[in-house]
Amino acid sequence: MLVKIDPFVAVFNLSDPGRYIHWGFIQISLGNLVVILVMVVVFVAAILVPFRRDEGKDG
């Protein structure tokens, strides 16, 4: 018996109906909120996490 394997099936399925967060007149999808939070975390990390090669150097 042959089993067909679709190489284009994603590991995580994001095609189900979207989840949204309502706060007053603000509506935001969970996907957008996660991306925005990740961007904030990356921004803060880029400022605060020191480069190892810079240790002991000026600037």
Radius of gyration of the chain (CA): 21
* Side-chain-facing half-sphere of 29: CA atoms under 13 Å: 7
Among 2, 4, 25, 52, binds other proteins (CB under 8 A): 25
CA distances from 52 to 11, 39, 45, 49, 56 (A): 35, 22, 14, 9, 9
Q: Confirm or reject binding of residue 15 to other proteins (CB under 8 A).
A: yes
Q: Confirm or reject binding of residue 53 to other proteins (CB under 8 A).
A: no
Q: Confirm or reject binding of residue 40 to other proteins (CB under 8 A).
A: no
Among 1, 2, 3, 10, binds other proteins (CB under 8 A): 10
Q: Confirm or reject binding of residue 58 to other proteins (CB under 8 A).
A: yes
